[in-house]
Chains A and B, each alone.
Chain A
Amino acid sequence: MSRISTWLITSSIQELITPQNSSSMASRVLVLASILIFSCFAETCYGAISFSSLQRTLVVTASHRQGLLKAGEDKITVRWGLNQSFPAGTDSSYKTIKVQLCYAPISQVDRAWRKTEDHLNKDKTCQFKIVKKPYINVNETLEWTIERDVPTATFFIRAYALDSDDHEVAYGQNTDAQKKTNLFEIQAITGRHVSLDIASVCFSAFSVVSLMGFFFMEKRKARKSQQ
């Protein structure tokens, strides 16, 4: 599909470059505009795989220590594999497995940038990649250290099976369909450092003190010029 839009764009640019008289200019601009609009729509229509069309054929579990997990420090052990109750050959199209950290509904409230949408290319539920590797028909385990750019929120883990075109064909998650069980909380790093704190305070104090210094010098100069 991207090849078609590339072709459309290059042909329309060629149209513009070749010299023409002004009367057809307006119509050509109109054509170019409509081509661009069409190609934008075409892209969005074609790539729309919906989550509700996927089968939940994978089994995913996650284990971790008790309590609030800390980003950058704690580890989560993720296990995934094909659900054996499905007939053999279900995974014939699975080429890659992508395991992601996803926001639980409670962390999506009043935050449109984490919204769940059925169309997967608009869906913002899962924003952190744990691992993406070729699929093998074996139960796998991974110990993942929570990365330092994960924010403070409640999460669950989901795995997508991708086919050879990198499109999602199946999924599995460690929570239920309503995303209410087996959730875990992660505490982000603050990003603050003592050196930053000290620098902030020092520079602020410097600004205010230098202002007073300037005032003092002005008063002295004014008094001197009066004498």
Chain B
Amino acid sequence: MEIEGQATVKESQPPKFALLVDSEHKATEFHLFSSAAPHMRAFHLSWISFFSCFVSTFAAPPLLPIIRDNLNLTATDIGNAGVASVSGAVFARIAMGTACDLFGPRLASASLILLTAPAVYFTSIASSPISFLLVRFFTGFSLATFVSAQFWMSSMFSGPVVGTANGVAAGWGNLGGGATQLIMPLVFSLIRDIGAVKFTAWRVAFFIPALFQTLSAFAILIFGQDLPDGNYQRLQNSGNKQKDKFSRVFYHGITNYRGWILALTYGYCFGVELTVDNIIAEYFYDRFNLKLHTAGIIAASFGLANIVSRPAGGVLSDMMAKRFGMRGRLWALWAVQTLGGVFCIILGQVGSLTASIVVMIVFSVFVQAACGLTFGVVPFVSRRSLGVISGMTGGGGNVGAVLTQLIFFKGSKYSKETGITLMGVMIVCCTLPIFLIYFPQWGGMFCGPSSEKIATEEDYYLSEWSSKEQGKGLHQASLKFADNSRSERGRRVHSQTLPSNATPSANV
């Protein structure tokens, strides 16, 4: 890896970074066990805070056997609360995307986390089915930190490692959904053994995820920064970063068809993951007559697979990009997600416990890797409206969760195993639109890059800025990004002629 990138940046005083960087100061390497500012520190802050939000959102399900007796809930109440917990984040994720574009991921995520922490504290004083539904609904908003985490990683890490960074941050965050199935019962029994009554112990237990959430937000505010060069506000005041207009950012995001396709397909990897998080414990408990404790451990293992499977998806995306460019990323995404659908179909069909567990784990690996692969593609869809695209994709994930729970797992229309099989069929069908994604400068799954002279990375990313805006020089960051994204051509990078005034890219 050449170090030209650092040498060619000659602004006032080039800051020293612990990692190799490109011309935008985004890191081109990823060192998991370092917490050097600003890149790796941002990584650790974002995955820990996202993990805490997942723990809070799914803290109720493992304690439901006690909560349902305390609050006199019916199965309908529980189902509605489950849908509510994932539906809040649909719009919150889109709003979060826009907020990141305008205010920066640090302030956007910390604000959301601190504003949803009260919902977790108030879960302790819930006293009826309605209050339970409301607290789960508002706590679910915190899942929008996913978008800020991805945005932050895409701002801190460059093309060759962005898939890995996004995959590990999101995967370790999603881990919270599995970890909470182990943490909450443990905290509950600790408090009960100290002497509290069951109906009080679960209430006290909720302070743990709430405090964790609050503290992680403080850490972000104190130790984090938006960009390698500093925070949005300071950069905007010193003129180094232009403040963008909400309407333009939003418009360019929602008019990009690739964002909508990715929103749909993400609904059938991440959305399916959320649905399975909600139903799998009951499925094993009922179908195989396991103890609740055992069913809970199996349910937790589904979410815990995230520790490697989602990062593996990100790593695979980057590996494919190195060899085949963006086309490789798209093919890998389609193949892995379709296989996930196939294993989902099989999961609904197998009738023995051992086979079910094995198929479930394979299914979880493929479905979570597909999530990681999706966010290997998202950073390249738009530069100006990265936040809105991330938000749309993330929101689409939650829409998928709401839809699959409503269609296949509400009431007794389908048995759980039939529901799982049909969900697998829907995954395979809703992954097909990836065929339609096409980048003029890199190609799509079936077509190569456009042979017209105007199909370069600069053309694609600058099409988001009007000539008036370009005249004012607002597009400089997109220009740099376009240059750095040339690695998405795969091995063909140097066979194309580069524009004469571009600096040679530092990461081939």
Report whether A207 and B114 are in contact in the complex, using a CB–CB cutoff of 8 Å: yes
Within 97-124 of B, Cβ neighbours of A (below 8 Å) are at 107, 110-111, 114-115, 117-118, 121-122, 124
A111, A191, A214, A226: the one within 8 Å of B197 (CB)? A191
Chain B residues contacting A148 (CB-CB under 8 Å) are 197-199
* 11 extra interface residue pairs, beta carbon distance < 8 Å, beyond A149-B198, A189-B197, A210-B114: A33-B354, A40-B353, A191-B70, A191-B197, A191-B198, A199-B121, A203-B214, A205-B118, A207-B115, A211-B114, A215-B107
The answer to whether A122 touches B289, judged by C-beta atoms less than 8 angstroms apart, is: yes
Interface flags, B117-157, vs A, CB<8A=1, else 0: 11001101101000000000000000000000000000000
Q: Report if A37-B199 is in contact (Cβ < 8 Å); known contacts: A192-B127, A200-B124, A204-B121.
A: no
The reply on A165 being an interface residue by CB < 8 A is no
**CB nearest neighbor in B for A219:** B233
Residues on B with C-beta less than 8 A from A146 are none
Residues in A whose Cβ lies below 8 Å from that of B211: 203
B492 CB–A CB distance under 8 Å? no
Contact status B197-A109, CB under 8 Å? no
Which residues on A sit within 8 Å (CB–CB) of B72?
A: 151-153, 188
Please state if B353 and A196 are interface contacts (CB–CB under 8 Å).
no
**Cβ–Cβ < 8 Å partners of A149 in chain B:** 69, 197-199
- A215 and B210 CA atoms in complex are apart in Å by 21
Is A73 part of the binding interface, using a Cβ–Cβ cutoff of 8 Å? no
Say yes or no: is A176 at the interface (Cβ < 8 Å to chain B). no
Q: For residue B352, which residue of chain A has the nearest CB?
A: A37
B74 interface contact, C-beta 8 A: yes
Number of CB contacts from chain A to chain B under 8 A:
115
State the A residues within 8 Å of B (CB). Answer: 33, 36-37, 40, 44, 109-113, 122, 148-149, 151-153, 188-193, 196-197, 199-201, 203-208, 210-211, 214-215, 218-219, 221-222, 225-226
User: Is B207 part of the binding interface, using a Cβ–Cβ cutoff of 8 Å?
Assistant: yes
Check if B210 sits within 8 Å of A188, measured CB to CB.
Answer: no
A29 → chain B closest CB, angstroms: 10
Does B470 lie at the interface of the complex (its beta carbon under 8 Å from any beta carbon of A)?
A: no
On chain A, the residues within 8 Å of B117 by CB distance are 203-204, 207
- In the complex where A149-B199, A151-B70, A196-B200 touch, is A210 in contact with B75 (Cβ < 8 A)? no
Q: Lowest 8 A-B CB distances belong to which pairs? A: A191-B199, A204-B118, A151-B69, A110-B74, A211-B114, A207-B117, A200-B121, A191-B200
- The complex places the Cα of A147 from the Cα of B281 at a distance, in Å, of 29
User: With A and B bound together, what is the CA distance between A40 and B291 in angstroms?
Assistant: 13
A190 touches B127 (CB 8 A): yes
Bound-complex Cα distance A214 to B198 (A): 38
B495 touches A (CB below 8 Å): no
Main SS class of interface, B: helix
- In whole angstroms, what is the CA distance A204 to B127 when docked? 18
Determine if B221 is an interface residue (Cβ-Cβ < 8 Å): yes
**Across the interface, do B125 and A192 meet the contact criterion of CB distance under 8 Å?**
yes
A-B contact pairs, 22 of them (CB 8 A): A37-B352, A44-B289, A110-B75, A113-B68, A122-B289, A152-B72, A153-B72, A190-B70, A191-B198, A191-B202, A192-B127, A199-B121, A200-B122, A200-B124, A204-B118, A206-B214, A211-B115, A211-B217, A215-B107, A222-B233, A225-B237, A226-B237
- Given contacts A113-B65, A211-B114, is CB(A196)–CB(B204) below 8 Å? yes
Q: Which of A190, A207, A215, A218 contacts B214 (CB 8 A)?
A: A207
A176 → chain B, closest Cβ, in Å? Answer: 25
Q: Report the bound CA distance from A193 to B231 in whole Å.
A: 43
Instruction: Give the interface of B toward A (CB within 8 A).
Output: 65, 68-70, 72, 74-76, 107, 110-111, 114-115, 117-118, 121-122, 124-125, 127, 197-200, 202-204, 207, 210-211, 214, 217-218, 221, 231, 233-234, 237-238, 288-289, 352-355
- Which residue of the partner chain B has the closest CB to A212? B114
Closest Cβ neighbor of A36 among chain B residues: B354
Say how far B64's CB is from chain A's closest CB, in angstroms.
9
Are the C-beta atoms of B125 and A111 separated by less than 8 Å? no
A152 to chain B: which residues have CB within 8 Å?
72
CA distance A208 to B111 in the complex (A): 9
A71 → B minimal CB distance (Å): 9
When C-beta atoms are compared, the residue in chain B nearest to A201 turns out to be B121
Which residue in chain B gives the minimum CB-CB distance to A112? Answer: B75
Residues A211 and B210 in contact, CB atoms below 8 Å apart: no
Beyond A191-B200, A218-B233, A222-B233, whether A208 also contacts B118 by CB under 8 A is yes
Q: How far is the CB of B229 from chain A (nearest CB, A)?
A: 14
Contact of A214 with B110 in the complex, beta carbons under 8 Å: yes
Which residues of B lie under 8 Å from residue A193 when comparing CB positions? Answer: 200
Given the complex, which residues of B lie within 8 Å of A211, measured CB to CB?
A: 110-111, 114-115, 217
Chain B residues with CB under 8 Å of A199's CB are 121, 124, 207
- The reply to whether B210 and A203 contact each other, CB–CB distance below 8 Å, is yes
Residues of A within 8 A of B221 (CB): 214
Chain B nearest CB, measured from A205 CB (Å): 8
Q: Cβ of B69: which chain A residues have Cβ within 8 Å of it?
A: 149, 151, 188
With beta carbons under 8 angstroms apart, the residue of B76, B122, B202, B289 that contacts A204 is B122
A124 to chain B, nearest CB (A): 11
A2 to B221: give the CA distance in the assembly, Å: 57
